[in-house]
Structure 1
Amino acid sequence: MLVFHLMCLPGSVKSNSMFVNKYFVIAVSLVILACVNGHAQSKEELERRRKETQEIIDNTSKLLEQTSVTRQSSMEQLNILNRRLQLRQSLTATLQSEIRYIENGIENKRLRISELENELKEARAAYARLIQIAYKHRFSHQRIMFILAANDFNQAYRRYKYLQQYAASRRNQIERISVLTNEIVSEIELLESNRQEQVLLFRRHQEETRNIARESEQHDEMVRNLRKRERELKSELENQQKIAASLQQAIEDLLREEARRAAEARVYELTPEQKILSDRFENNRGALPWPTERGVVTGFFGEHPHPVLRGIRIQNDGIIISTVENADVKAVFDGDVRQVRTIPGLNNVVLIRHGNFLSVYANLSHVFVRSGDTVRTGQLIGRVFTDADEGNKSVLHLGIWEENRKLDPMLWLSRQ
């Protein structure tokens, strides 16, 4: 709202309340603008997260198609379906957050429109007062007489400046009314756009809710079928535990052998180059590239309840990535290949040292590196083994160790 000075002029009044209202409106507008900007940034983050989650869901669907060549339910199919259900639940949560953000945005728009309408009302009232003043001095000779009737030159000059301010104020008020009107129209259009987007997101949320209900039934049926093979599953679990123990033994053997060689050479610390490599690896925590171009994590680090067998918990020293048939496997960081060996049940295994750290790649059908090779980040080191006897199951076991301490690879890999 425009407030103009009428000091030392007959009949003029300077309203303090107008100044207060003006700066109050400006302050509120700045607060709302900050909220809207924060809302926009959060909304972009949510949209990015939703797209990423949807992409992973699409990958799980393709993996399920790949493993559905066998009619018999398998643990791999159940693991992939479990992961897809988790992703769908995450997606619905993201959609709910987006809907809430849009609701907040709609409320902000309503408040902004209300403020603009109040400001427009005040601008029109101020313009009406100017018109009343203009009517009193509607003839040019009256304006001249108003100046000439001054008591002295200074008063005449002030009256002249007053008439100039008055004319400028009329022009400014007309322009202000036009700006406010256009801004209100723009805010109403944005409000309608937000409402339409909210409707689309709500429909998408309903669709995902139905998908979760349908896939939960598939999951329960798959679990029932697998529980009929409880003895077979327990036998598989025992075999997997033996395989995991063999892998751990291989890593411990490597660490002992390296320690023995270091003791014989009387070298007890990393070389400067190894120290730099170790520091670089550690500084890339949460930013390492994924070893496969496509795939989803179906086995997480740590101890978890078995998805089928009641009362049984399983321990995973790394993560399991379900991927496409014969997927390429790449090194997650620069390093030296310390060992390539075969372990029954895990096929070929590659161990790469990165200073104090080790990355372990297991279940490879082909290996393209040898012990002693130096590899670079993203370099092809092998291909994932595809098991035709288990519905084309293609999984990579990835582990990360800091010497003899097991680490969660999910904390080291970049966001998928």
Structure 2
Amino acid sequence: MKLNKLLLLLIFVLSATIAVAQNSSELKRKKEAIQREIELLQRNLTKTAKNKKLTQSQINALNTQISLMQNKIAVINSEIKNLDNQIHENTNTVINLKGQLSQLKKEYAGMIRFAQRNRNAYEKMMFVFAASDFNQAYKRIKYLQQFGQYRKKQAGYIQGTQKDLNYKIVVLDKNLKEKSSLLHEQENEKDKLGKNKNEQAQVLNKISKQEKQYKQDIVARKKQQAQIDRSIRAAIAREIAIAKKKAEEAARAAERAAAARAAAERAAALAKAKAENKPAPAAVAAKPKTVTANSSNNYLTATPEAARLSAAFESNRGSLPWPVATGTTTESFGKHKEGQASYDNAGITIQTNEGAAVRAVFNGKVTKVGNALGRYYVLIKHGQFFTVYQNLKSVSVGQGDDVSTKQTIGTVASSGDIPELQFQIYRGTVAQNPAGWLSGK
């Protein structure tokens, strides 16, 4: 019974240890990913540190870096909490194993004392012959045999329990050292966060001194972005118009074919009636099946190939690869406010490494390669969906090219010496939030 309890305890401890190890491993991966993003932003900020003129990209990088540092501290806190739970469990396990070991040693000591009292063969024979009948004598012989075997097992249990106890003590010591290391890391991150917040305060003070120039830069930048967005929406509208024209031509062709079939059937019926000397059948108006579309997006999926591509793109919502191998979002989708000015971001802004390759996030066809203010943008069609890649230094695809998932389509350019990509997703002409479509890092 005691053995069963010990085995159950060891199984429980092993299961809990595996679960905690998996959780700890996930937290560690998350922390490392956050640290890589922080380092990327820091490299970009270091390159622009000597610039007297502040840019929106620099401010976004600094704000994002502070947010990531806060996230990293939160992950470290989760790691510490996780370790505290593990330390508590391991401490209880050590106490239980010590109790089990003490009990096993007491039982083993009792068996040794009994064996000492009955250590020679004569005494064992007297113990057997003192039985009142044959059945009792047989039971005493079996008892002596089982007693010897049980004593050997008890010695094995003691060794195994001692081994488990030593292992748990080592693990507990490792947990305590790891917690001490995490607390030290937490303090370092808090110090770094404090320095970055001081830097943020200095930047805000600098902005207030350069407010007029800074506002002018924001207005100019947003005008440029709005111009590019209008050009992109116009290109999408043209694609819809082309698809609509093709759908309507297909519908008219179907109507003509239906009318021709009806005329042929009418002529055949007339000829048959004449041959059989019967009255001509009444004319029946042909009702050809026409192709209709309830919305502009339906035109984009009018063909089976486009419909399949569109469905495949939509089924990958939340798991599309990032348009760059390494990067972090510094400006999210939707409305933003800078001082008194507000503006819409039709996509997300991703800061990345200098010269980073820009990749298509899904199979599709290049609809347009545009140039605005010395920078390129690429529009790729995926059925009724479109992806847009703005602020490219160079482009390696052309209009009409078929592209595959993760295929390089160009390299990212720098905005104010900071390499960043503006990425957008449209369903028809309606902008989507890319954050909900891209996979987690």
Q: Same fold (TM over 0.5)?
A: yes
Q: How do 1:360-399 residues align onto structure 2 when only pairs under 5 Å count?
A: 360-387=388-415, 390=416, 392-399=417-424
Contact 2:425–2:433 (CA<8 Å) still a contact in 1?
Answer: yes
Deviation (angstroms), 1:301: 1.1
Contact 1:89–1:212 (CA<8 Å) still a contact in 2?
Answer: yes
Q: Which amino acid in structure 2 is aligned with residue 407 of structure 1?
A: Q
Which residue of structure 1 aligns with residue 171 of structure 2? 190
User: What is the distance in 1 between the residues matched to 2:11 and 2:411?
Assistant: 57
Q: Does 1:348 align with 2:376?
A: yes
Q: How high is the sequence identity, in percent, across the aligned residues?
A: 31
| Among 404, 425, 431, the residue aligned to 1:400 | 425
Contact 2:386–2:428 (CA<8 Å) still a contact in 1?
Answer: yes
Contact 2:357–2:411 (CA<8 Å) still a contact in 1?
Answer: yes
Q: What 5-or-longer segments of structure 2 have no aligned partner?
A: 251-298
Q: Compute the TM-score of the two structures, normalised by the length of structure 2.
A: 0.83
Q: Which amino acid in structure 1 is aligned with residue 318 of structure 2?
A: G
Q: Does 1:117 align with 2:98?
A: yes
Q: Does 1:234 align with 2:215?
A: yes
Contact 2:63–2:200 (CA<8 Å) still a contact in 1?
Answer: yes
| Among 343, 347, 358, the residue aligned to 1:329 | 358
Root mean square deviation, CA, Å: 2.1
Q: Which amino acid in structure 1 is aligned with residue 393 of structure 2?
A: S
Which residue of structure 1 aligns with residue 146 of structure 2? 165
User: What is the distance in 2 between the residues matched to 1:379 and 1:395?
Assistant: 19
Change (3 A) 1:404 1:131: same
Q: How do 1:15-414 residues align onto structure 2 when only pairs under 5 Å count?
A: 19=1, 26-266=7-247, 268=299, 269-306=301-338, 309=339, 311-344=340-373, 347-387=375-415, 390=416, 392-414=417-439
User: What is the distance in 1 between the residues matched to 2:113 and 2:179?
Assistant: 47
Q: Which stretch shows the higher mean deviation, 95-104 or 22-31?
A: 22-31
Q: Which amino acid in structure 2 is aligned with residue 243 of structure 1?
A: Q
Larger Rg: 2
User: What is the distance in 2 between the residues matched to 1:194 and 1:219?
Assistant: 36
Deviation (angstroms), 1:230: 1.8
User: What is the distance in 2 between the residues matched to 1:55 and 1:326?
Assistant: 17
Deviation (angstroms), 1:23: 5.2
Contact 1:331–1:376 (CA<8 Å) still a contact in 2?
Answer: yes
User: What is the distance in 2 between the residues matched to 1:327 and 1:176?
Assistant: 61
Contact 1:357–1:402 (CA<8 Å) still a contact in 2?
Answer: yes
Deviation (angstroms), 1:111: 0.2
Contact 1:36–1:108 (CA<8 Å) still a contact in 2?
Answer: no
Q: Compute the TM-score of the two structures, normalised by the length of structure 1.
A: 0.87
Which residue of structure 2 aligns with residue 8 of structure 1? none
Q: Which amino acid in structure 1 is aligned with residue 410 of structure 2?
A: G
Change (3 A) 1:81 1:235: same
Contact 1:68–1:77 (CA<8 Å) still a contact in 2?
Answer: no
User: What is the distance in 2 between the residues matched to 1:152 and 1:305?
Assistant: 101
User: What is the distance in 2 between the residues matched to 1:144 and 1:117?
Assistant: 38
Count of residue pairs brought into register by the alignment: 390
User: What is the distance in 1 between the residues matched to 2:210 and 2:142?
Assistant: 98
CA offset digits 1:222-262 (Å, max 9, x no partner): 11101222222222332333233323322332232222222
CA offset digits 1:155-202 (Å, max 9, x no partner): 222111100111111111111112112221111111111111111111
User: What is the distance in 2 between the residues matched to 1:314 and 1:257?
Assistant: 26
